[in-house]
Structure 1
Amino acid sequence: MSERIKIDEPLWDLSTFVGRFKHFLWVTDPRTCLVSEKTLDDAKILVEQYRKGLEPPGTSTEQVIYAKKLYESAFHPDSGEKQNVFGRMSFQVPGGMAITGAMLQFYRTSTAVVFWQWVNQSFNALVNYTNRNAKSPISTNQLVIAYVSATSSAMLTAVGYKAFLAKRASPFFQRYVPFAAVAAANCVNIPLMRQTEIIGGIDCSDEKGNLVGQSKLAAIKGITQVVVSRIVMCAPGMLILPVIMERIEPYPWMQRIKFLHAPIQVMGVGCFLSFMVPAACSLFPQRCSISTSILQKFEPAEYEKMKQNCNGKVPEKIYFNKGL
């Protein structure tokens, strides 16, 4: 091999949006979901070997980079455990396009709205759990309560909006019921699925990666950014596609292929998500930071613990994994 890469560091500058976009476009590649379990395990082994300088003779840089891609797409950054394929961010495009397309197509009856909101929030709950900060475990009871609360809020929001708009808005505006429900549910689903982080705080480190303590404010900041990212992720497809469908559905050729309306919406959502998944993940740095002066003001007890852990020299900023 010509030059060794830094296996635990990103290939792009993550301090910029463009760098983060390139990184997430690379790591959320949907094709990685089709890779076999053995290939993923082999990729992890190669990454670990390369980290120690013990990779097999003749291993090329391209092989290491591909193994790094598979490892980062399928294994949790905190625990190193292999993630459920349906909960990986790389599955957001195929999973999201199918479910969102169905929500946009089947919005006319309350039964269809409730069903697809339940499917969507079940999928979101799995994604949120899979991409949580793994150093803050959640109990089975908390998981069940979070799931029931999140799915219920989505369905109630959807039915409530639909009932409110039924007599007050045109069929066009009723197309936006799914987005309103999804946005509202994300504000409930993500905090509930990651409630242990808010209750107990998440691990924070200094610039060099040394653990200095825990912070609830850090958890709140990270989760808030994830909520914003998820809403932004689905917004273009759920806001622009209804306008497109409203314009083209009256044409005779579209009337003749009504059975293709759902697949058309699914493919349309897929086009939006292919760009929006990496773009939304790139809005905020993955390694998030917070000023310790804020902690000193709002979390004095945790700040004092950090002060003890740092021998009285608390860094100006602390860093943490915000999750996805």
Structure 2
Amino acid sequence: MMKESPRLKDGRIDLSLPRWDQSTFLGRVRHFASITDMRTAFTSNRTLLSAKELLNQYKLKQEPTGTTDEQIWRAKKLYESAFHPDSGELQNVIGRMSFQVPGGMILTAGMLQFYKTNTSVIFWQWLNQSFNALVNYTNRNAASTVTNKQIAFAYVSATTCALVTALGFKEIMGKRGNPIMKRFAPFIAVCAANFVNIPLSRQAELSDGVLLFSSDKQQISESRLAAVKGIALVAISRVTMAAPGMLIMPVIMNHLEKKASFMKYQRYHLLFQTFMIGCFLVFMVPVACGMFPQNNTISLKALEKYEPEKYKKAVEMCQRNGLPLPSHLYFNKGL
């Protein structure tokens, strides 16, 4: 049986921790499967606000008599699926991580189905990058100093990169007479755009660094190196999330479209691809999010080598707080 997070001394649920042990891959997958459950994206605002209120009551030990642990876990799931973890504000539906499956399946299917004309490529890549920009903005760090101008620049840059990559790859493969390879143009474009969009969206972290904490959550220093690591891990996760559907479906469709029985029902091809992509994403969204620990680490040796001024600050802060010098410090890698 998968281990749940430890309880408080009085046996009550510790709401500051995820339900499942985050030191294991399966624990992280189960955690993200819960908060990215697409069914929660269609939960009414009234129900979501009631869940938030129940959690506030539970923190004060004022919850209604007879409230069960499962009701608290359910409320916590709804809260984490819809409210910003820093500000506590209700997020817009389309930008929530719980909307990744329905949003992603429609956009991915559209990119894979309509790849033959340049107009279609431009429209679907633009729509996909607009969706990604909204997700990045909705889930941004509340303390981030990134301006609207910088966010707009990241959006335009990622969209341009995606379009140039998709159209260029499609043109090159067309000249080489390889039709199946043209189907992979959307995936190549998505990969390229992710490695442009995410760093630009989080450029403040690259210039100022992210906060580093000790194991007991005391702020110790900042690090640009940790920001680079966090952004790289998120980019890898995003690409991994999209990869199975965008790599396997072109092969499946290329095979099926050679069969006369399948081609009789062309009007249903988009519906078929959308359903199949949805099946991939239901599995891949929590797997990709859980690939790397949310509270990631950076070694003090790396800090000493590449950011000596931040290492010095960390040493001084530990001495000031009477803490032993740790081998690693923790930071939030983002999503």
Per-residue CA distance 1:58-116 (angstroms, 9 max, x = gap): 22212111110011111222333322221111111000000000000000011111111
The 1:81/1:318 distance shift into structure 2, 3 A limit, reads farther
Instruction: Give the alignment of 1:173-212 within 5 angstroms.
Output: 173-212=181-220
C-alpha separation between the residues in 2 aligned to 1:240 and 1:206? 42
C-alpha separation between the residues in 1 aligned to 2:167 and 2:130? 17
Identical-pair percentage: 54
Question: Which residue identity lines up with residue 326 of structure 2 in the other structure?
Answer: P
C-alpha separation between the residues in 2 aligned to 1:300 and 1:49? 45
Instruction: Give the alignment of 1:98-117 within 5 angstroms.
Output: 98-117=106-125
2:67 to 54, 59, 68: 59
Cross-structure match for 2:252: 244
2:332 to 313, 321, 324: 321
Structure 1: runs of 5 or more not aligned: none
2:93 to 74, 85, 97: 85
Question: Which residue identity lines up with residue 301 of structure 2 in the other structure?
Answer: S
The 1:157/1:230 distance shift into structure 2, 3 A limit, reads same
Per-residue CA distance 1:251-310 (angstroms, 9 max, x = gap): 222211111111111111001001000110111001111112211111112222223332
Query: SS in structure 2 opposite 1:209?
Result: coil
Query: SS in structure 2 opposite 1:156?
Result: helix
1:122 to 120, 130, 138: 130
Q: Determine if the alignment matches structure 1 residue 158 to structure 2 residue 166.
A: yes
Per-residue deviation at 1:117?
0.6
Q: Determine if the alignment matches structure 1 residue 307 to structure 2 residue 320.
A: no
C-alpha separation between the residues in 2 aligned to 1:46 and 1:148? 41
The 1:48/1:320 distance shift into structure 2, 3 A limit, reads farther
Instruction: Give the alignment of 1:141-290 within 5 angstroms.
Output: 141-290=149-298
Per-residue CA distance 1:154-177 (angstroms, 9 max, x = gap): 111111111111111421111000
Question: Which residue identity lines up with residue 45 of structure 1 in the other structure?
Answer: E
Deviates more, 1:269-278 or 1:17-26: 17-26
2:56 to 42, 48, 53: 48
User: When the two structures are aligned, how many residues end up with a matched partner?
Assistant: 323
Q: 8 Å contact 1:135–1:202 — kept in the other structure?
A: no
Per-residue CA distance 1:236-259 (angstroms, 9 max, x = gap): 000001111111112222211111
Query: SS in structure 2 opposite 1:115?
Result: helix
Q: Which runs of 4+ in 1 moved over 4 A?
A: none
Per-residue CA distance 1:122-153 (angstroms, 9 max, x = gap): 11111122223332231111111111111111
C-alpha separation between the residues in 1 aligned to 2:235 and 2:45? 30
Cross-structure match for 2:6: none
Deviates more, 1:246-255 or 1:124-133: 124-133
TM-score with structure 2 setting the length: 0.92
C-alpha separation between the residues in 1 aligned to 2:90 and 2:218? 25
The alignment's C-alpha RMSD in Å is: 1.5
C-alpha separation between the residues in 2 aligned to 1:236 and 1:323? 22
C-alpha separation between the residues in 1 aligned to 2:300 and 2:95? 33
Per-residue deviation at 1:3?
5.0
Question: Which residue identity lines up with residue 129 of structure 1 in the other structure?
Answer: Y
